[in-house]
Amino acid sequence: MVSGASKERIVNTICNNCAQACGLEIHVAGDRVTRVNPIEGHVVQNTSGCPKAAPEALMEMIHSDKRLRKLLRRVNGELREITWEDALDFIAEKLHQLKEKNGARALTYQTGNAFLATESEKVARGFCDLYGTPNFSSVGSLCFYTRRFAHTVTLNHGAPIYAFPNW
């Protein structure tokens, strides 16, 4: 949707900051996000006023000058830009050395909540399997995992990930 004078577009999408996937209406002018609202009547709504979808937080996440936009490696105390090839070679070598010296279980993979219940999680778990470590963990989120845990121990199956308004 484009509103004539300001050329502002409205893009309906979902928040990807956790597995809930709340509906968001994003206002965009040029390449800048100008406003964020919940989508009225969307099946998954951020009814609790989740701070991770506050307009200021989302806009900072997208437009902050401090956002990491290139690959950096610290060399002699200084951060230097490196290529993907260099980064992958460096990490592969470190992983190889770790396994040789301490065994595969010395590696723990810790991920944030945004990567749970997504394809990225499956890739990360697959990597851990191939490497040989069972140590895969996540921060989870208190609102999600406590609900899921309570659902499991009382009803004997994991709760759906979505919190519909009329539950």
List of residues 6+ apart from 125 with CB closer than 8 A? 136
Question: Does 133 sit near ligand SF4 (CB under 6 A)?
Answer: no
Neighbours of 48 (CB within 10 A): 11
Question: Does 26 sit near ligand SF4 (CB under 6 A)?
Answer: no
Task: Answer for the pair 163, 144: CB distance below 8 angstroms, yes or no.
Answer: no
Binders of ligand SF4 among residues 139 to 158 (CB under 6 A) are none
Which one of the spans 20-28, 96-104, 131-139, 154-162 is the region binding ligand SF4 (CB under 6 A)?
A: 20-28
Look up tokens 């809930």; give the residue. Answer: 20
Task: Candidates 28, 33, 39, 50: give the one binding ligand SF4 (CB under 6 A).
Answer: 50
- What are the angstrom distances between the C-alpha of 94 and each of 73, 87, 100, 130? 14, 11, 10, 16
Question: Does 116 sit near ligand SF4 (CB under 6 A)?
Answer: no
Decide whether 45 or 133 has the Cβ nearer to ligand SF4. Answer: 45
Rounded distance, CA 112 to CA 137, Å? 9
Task: Answer for the pair 71, 81: CB distance below 8 angstroms, yes or no.
Answer: yes
User: What is the total count of residues that contact ligand SF4 (CB under 6 A)?
Assistant: 10
Decide whether 33 or 50 has the Cβ nearer to ligand SF4. Answer: 50
The tokens describing 118, both together, are 């997504």
Decide whether 25 or 71 has the Cβ nearer to ligand SF4. Answer: 25
Task: Candidates 26, 27, 36, 53: give the one binding ligand SF4 (CB under 6 A).
Answer: 53
Question: Does 36 sit near ligand SF4 (CB under 6 A)?
Answer: no
Task: Candidates 28, 46, 156, 167: give the one binding ligand SF4 (CB under 6 A).
Answer: 46
In which region does residue 103 sit, left (phi positive, over 0), alpha (psi from -120 to 50) or beta (all else)?
left
Residues that bind ligand SF4 (CB under 6 A): 15, 17-18, 20-22, 46, 50, 52-53
